[in-house]
Copies of this chain bind each other. A is one copy, B any other.
């Protein structure tokens, strides 16, 4: 179903949006750089209408500003909608994907404990039941060392919490969190057998949510994220792909795997077409 949209339903403006978005996100078109509609028409061999639509979208993302008589100016990163999935994706595909990955993980660490606490208040009965069920399942699967299935249930666990939080802003992060978790297992970066502490903490989170104990849910989730934090902390120094990353090999390998582990929904339709400018760089997360 995706591939059909890929060749037919995509639209002409999409590739040019993608290309220019990547170039801006990569810094190839630095802030202050000026484009013109005529230039875009010519470069991509499209009509004025299509060029304008692509610019309008970039403008709505804060990546460019269009002014009469001047042209289309690239804006500084401070003006970008850094939460826009497309922008996230472009930055993850470009040279500063390390920085973007760090900010995303940092965001995840910030949000998940609160989401767990909120879920303890806001979850439906079905969600509470499911979260307990999942925690029990995780223990069974973990003891059986069924890593593949463990991972899938773990993803479901975290997605469920974010969505059950009743906060759509938290829920919107579910996709990203799921990608990180999937990636870790897929690359064999999880322990061969999950440590008992992890399963105890999943249990604690689940029980707290089921019984509406918000503070406990939050605390337990925070404990669950300690491992992620310690993996991330050394990574807070800026670096380029050229330099060896100063952080743990876990995240490093997550970033550099091929094929990519995750493609945001908004880009999925065109991904299989292999039209990406940085094929080896689109790994991420």
Contacts and interface: CB of A to CB of B under 8 A. Distances in A.
Contact of A82 (B49, B114, B172): B172
A97 to B, nearest CB: 14
A13 B56 contact: yes
A115 B107 CA distance: 9
A45 B55 CA distance: 23
How many copies, total? 2
Interface in A113-137: 113-115, 118, 121-122
B83 A172 contact: yes
A2 to B, nearest CB: 14
A20 to B, nearest CB: 13
A149 interface: no
A76 to B, nearest CB: 11
Contacts of A85: 81
A81 B78 contact: no
Interface string A101-117: 01110110111011100
Nearest to A238: B166
A114 B106 contact: yes
Interface in A31-69: 49, 52-53, 56-57, 60-62, 67-68
- Looking at A82, A86, A167, the one whose CB has the most chain B CB atoms below 10 A away is A167
A28 interface: no
A114 B82 CA distance: 18
Given A53-B52, A83-B172, A169-B82, A236 B103 contact: no
A84 interface: yes
A87 to B, nearest CB: 10
**What 4 A-B pairs have minimum CB-CB distances, sorted nearest first?**
A83-B83, A110-B114, A103-B167, A110-B110
9 contacts: A49-B49, A56-B56, A60-B86, A83-B172, A103-B170, A106-B118, A109-B114, A118-B236, A122-B236
